[in-house]
Structure 1
């Protein structure tokens, strides 16, 4: 099923929302999918230990620990429908120097949904359990989040600033509704967000398979990465995906970014080979403008564009990603145990 057919099925008229002239109906859904991140394949090696923090045992996600005990801590958060494997290559590079905590949200990439299957306000609930996990471990980590994981990182930093030493945001915006146009608001996006949620929940298995492949082809340049993206997208719980996508579109953190004082690195992708389905080619200036406007009130955010990459920088530019993370994390005031 094409994305234009998806919109016809859900009854969404893109004329009902103010969309930038550069975006066609099909383009908007693809671009929104790219920003939201459908990634990777499920699971880690059987030998890895799944950690349930005590006494606050997470019910919204699981965590595996890797790396070197006693070293500074890093928490890695994947995006919408992603397994923790999206961070596999980067985790292997960081492991000798850091204690790693790799999160996977329940309901994504084949992991049982559990309480996420019926709960409302999922993003807020996940942030609370992340706080509980960090507090119970008595750590003050660097938190690195991709896409939806980046939004969760910002929410955690706003609500519990003492939990993080610094953060890295990988191709995420504080308000995804900006992809509907620079004047978009939570209210103006709500009708389309509702229709997208309901349409996603109504898709058949065959329709989800086609959508997963189309989205993966748009999200990633790397061939193996595309396979992982499509596999995790298809194996995710449709209800959890749909409701979390809706919450994502209905969360605007821009008014509160000025309160987040810690050091932050925000990476964003640009691919000069990309052409939207309507024939428009994005420019570096367009990518710079969207990102700088989104983060303009966040005082200590350093914005870095990563060229020749689509949404999954960890697949398309893994070396560049690692060098940027390593340099930023190793600066003074990095993560470490709570005194």
Structure 2
């Protein structure tokens, strides 16, 4: 894969975080549900449980179309993470808190192997949950994320190098002038979403997200390498990826190979890439996404 391509992909997640870092901070506080302050939950429908996790600085509303499609005979539990889209932030590392509280939520509600669907950062959390609690998760659906974002540019990257890269990214984000990155936010979101109305919606969620939480969550994810850990996942897994925004840097088969190489230690995984959708596949090509998920769930 060409170096210009991997450099572009490796910086895209950081660019989004930089853009959201320009948003005003939301004060930390206690979430409405004391048993799971790391996220809030909206429950819709009745039947077998489905847990939907949104991405960085996103609201659970990103799954509205998915809920409408699947919650006629299923019960959807749509989370929004603390510090994102107006939900009060919490103290301490977010990702381990969300993972543990999701595990506790599944146990407390006596869910029998719920379907877990995650987008971007939410997909990363779904992977962690399924790897660390393999007997709790049913089918796992990951929408456009990878086990090791920092390894895209350098597959042989070591753990110390990964942490150093994440620390450098944090330093850049923390030094940003908010005014300078308003234009960068729009530029970044336009590589991830096609329609302006959807870009505006995501921009609004970013403005309601806590500055520190966004930086910390992005740094946490960039510091981790789950390529080996996914071998502990027992769940049949579907990975839906997007490549179209980078068509000038490589071909679809090149991207497919990159995705499959990162997931090669995950047993029973199916990887598919959309033809023209960008990162927010649920907005850009919901029909394609639902068709793949429908077939997977059958």
Does the alignment reach a TM-score above 0.5?
A: yes
Q: Structure 1: how far apart are the matches of 2:235 and 2:281?
A: 23
Larger deviation, residues 24-33 vs 249-258: 24-33
- TM-score under structure 2 length normalisation: 0.88
Are 1:37 and 1:81, in contact at CA under 8 Å, matched by a contact in 2?
A: no
| 2:11 alignment partner in structure 1 | 29
1:223 to 187, 196, 201: 196
Q: Residue 226 of structure 1 aligns to a residue in which SS?
A: helix
Shift of 1:274: 4.1
Structure 2: stretches of 5+ with no match in the other structure: 21-30
Hey, what's the Cα distance between the residues in 1 that align with 2:6 and 2:243? 19
In structure 1, the partner of 2:254 is 286
The two structures, once aligned, show a CA RMSD in angstroms of 2.5
User: 4+ residue runs of structure 1 moved beyond 3 angstroms?
Assistant: 23-28, 31-38
Deviation digits for residues 34-54 of structure 1 (CA, Å, limit 9, x no counterpart): 69997xxxxxxxxxxx984xx
Q: Which has the larger radius of gyration?
A: 1
Partner of 1:191: 164
**1:321 paired to 2:289:** yes
Matched-pair contact (CA < 8 Å) for 1:254–1:294: yes
Question: Do structure 1's residue 302 and structure 2's residue 270 form an aligned pair?
Answer: yes
Counterparts in 2 of 1:206 and 1:26: CA distance versus 1, 3 Å:
farther
| Alpha-carbon distance in 2 for matches of 1:62, 1:199 | 30
CA distance in structure 2 between the partners assigned to 1:306 and 1:162 by the alignment = 30
The 1:286/1:185 distance shift into structure 2, 3 A limit, reads farther
Aligned counterpart in structure 2 of residue 83 of structure 1, from 59, 64, 81? 59
Alignment partner, residue 221 of structure 2: 248
Give, in whole Å, the separation in 1 of the partners of 2:6 and 2:105. 42
Is the partner of 2:142 in helix, strand or coil? strand
Residue 107 of structure 1 is matched in structure 2 by 83
State TM-score, norm by structure 1.
0.78
Deviation at 1:176, TM superposition (A): 1.0
In 1, the alpha carbon distance for the partners of 2:279 and 2:262 equals: 17
Deviation at 1:309, TM superposition (A): 0.9
Residue 125 (1) aligns with residue 97 (2): yes
Distance 1:326 1:170, change over 3 A: same
* Cα distance in 1, alignment partners of residues 144 and 16 from structure 2: 9
| Cα distance between partner residues in 1 of 2:208 and 2:172 | 17
